[in-house]
Structure 1
Amino acid sequence: MNVPINRPCLLCGSPTSMWCSRCQGAFYCRPEHLQQDWPRHRTECIPTTHQSTHNMNMIATPPPAEPQYTSVSAILFAPEEERPRIVTVNCRPASRSSHGMCPLPLVQQYFPDGQTEGIVLTQGLNGEALRFPLHLWYSPTALQRSSPVNRSIYNITSGSAPKSWCGPVVVLKYNGSRRQGYADAGSNDLPALSAYFLAYK
């Protein structure tokens, strides 16, 4: 079987007879070009079940890339700050076996005690359903440890909340009612959050 020698390199277009060892369908004139093109090519690089006899023409495929994390804006209610602020939270993708599952937000850095629980807020002002539910992360042990009252929550509720919130609170916004991913949270979400803090007992 003759090895094709006139296939263009996917990166520079030069004629080549070397290909990606994983999918055997992408041609590159040198290993460095496969490495440079890997961030794009990896999304379409499907392992072949066909074993080629022309191993000398294969270019070793880079190792599988780390999962691509996504970043979203979240609202941080820091206990010692006067106002909530917007922070960036990375989300680890759901495993391939859990189709349709939501990515996992990496919020541990905001909780020094390592204890977190989540609440999903589905209703806003006057009990109206939220089009984009809010996901609140908080520390269940903060109150037990006599942590200081969360000043930013105290301020947005004008001190009228029946429950004294302690410790940090991080709020993410789902990208829809199916809760399969997150969208950027922002100041438009504060009225619904304020109503929740005022109603929680």
Structure 2
Amino acid sequence: MNPVPLINHPCTVCCRPTSMWCSRCQSAWYCTPEHLQSDWPRHRKECVPATHAQNYNIIATPPPAEQQVIMRPRIITVKCRPSQVPSQGMCPQPLVNGHFPDGQAESIVLTQGLNGEPLRFPLHLWYSPTALSRCAPINRAIYHITSGAAAKAWCGTVVVLKFNGSRRQGYSDAGSNDLPALSAYFLAYK
């Protein structure tokens, strides 16, 4: 039988001496299971399973990772209502409300990209202002292009179209060249 060493390390939460550690990484010390639970949101980012697991002085297995529903990006077809007065050069009206569960969408036109440089073809973005309050899934595309660093957790559907002319007379698909401008917007939005 292996003797259990009496090692006293400060608890990560309260600094009380303890000889118990996280059973997963065996590098974080806790004096009670409650302290592990309370510190888990921070500790989970650094908790890497130990390669040389030892079976003594373990405190508890960390709780399982939180389940998150994540929306995957997809290409959709957006129908447009033609302009009432085509001779005035007005752009068609995209019919996007059907792509939002609550039928409500707000929009913004992005005219600047990174470092405030003007966009040659502005981007028109629609989103649901109520998505976060009704626990809609995290938008994976936005999470990915911002590397998860956006101050606001963007949830729910987001539709982006690009004006195909500087006079905003029609739309075309947004593409990968538009990602830096979109990323800058999502990162700056509070």
1:80 matched residue in structure 2: 71
Distance of aligned partners of 1:149 and 1:125 in 2 relative to their CA distance in 1, 3 Å threshold: same
2:145 matched residue in structure 1: 156
Tell me the secondary structure at the aligned position of residue 184 of structure 2.
Answer: helix
Q: Does the 8 Å contact 1:143/1:166 carry over to 2?
A: yes
TM-score (norm 1): 0.56
Percent of matched pairs sharing the same residue: 76
Q: Does the 8 Å contact 1:86/1:186 carry over to 2?
A: no
- Matching of residue 177 in structure 1 with residue 169 in structure 2: no
Distance, in Å, in 2 between the alignment partners of 1:101 and 1:193 is 25
Superposed CA offset, 1:42-79 (max 9, x none): xxxxxxxxxxxxxxxxxxxxxxxxxxxxxxxxxxxxx5
Distance of aligned partners of 1:181 and 1:160 in 2 relative to their CA distance in 1, 3 Å threshold: same
Match of 1:102 among 68, 91, 106: 91
Q: Does the 8 Å contact 1:136/1:172 carry over to 2?
A: yes
Superposed CA offset, 1:102-133 (max 9, x none): 10112223211101111000001111000000
Superposed CA offset, 1:10-32 (max 9, x none): xxxxxxxxxxxxxxxxxxxxxxx
Distance, in Å, in 2 between the alignment partners of 1:164 and 1:102 is 31
2:53 matched residue in structure 1: none
Q: Does the 8 Å contact 1:122/1:130 carry over to 2?
A: yes
Deviating 4+ runs (over 6 angstroms)? none
Match of 1:121 among 110, 114, 129: 110
Tell me the secondary structure at the aligned position of residue 144 of structure 2.
Answer: helix
1:146 matched residue in structure 2: 135
TM-score (norm 2): 0.59
Tell me the secondary structure at the aligned position of residue 138 of structure 2.
Answer: coil
Aligned residues: 122
1:98 is displaced (CA, Å) by 8.0
1:97 is displaced (CA, Å) by 7.8
Q: In structure 1, what residue type is equivalent to 2:132?
A: L
1:175 is displaced (CA, Å) by 1.5
- Matching of residue 112 in structure 1 with residue 101 in structure 2: yes
Tell me which of the two structures has the higher relative contact order, counting C-alpha pairs closer than 8 angstroms and 6 or more residues apart.
Answer: 1
Tell me the secondary structure at the aligned position of residue 88 of structure 1.
Answer: coil
Match of 1:93 among 63, 68, 82: 82
- Please tell me the root mean square deviation across aligned C-alpha atoms, in Å: 2.0
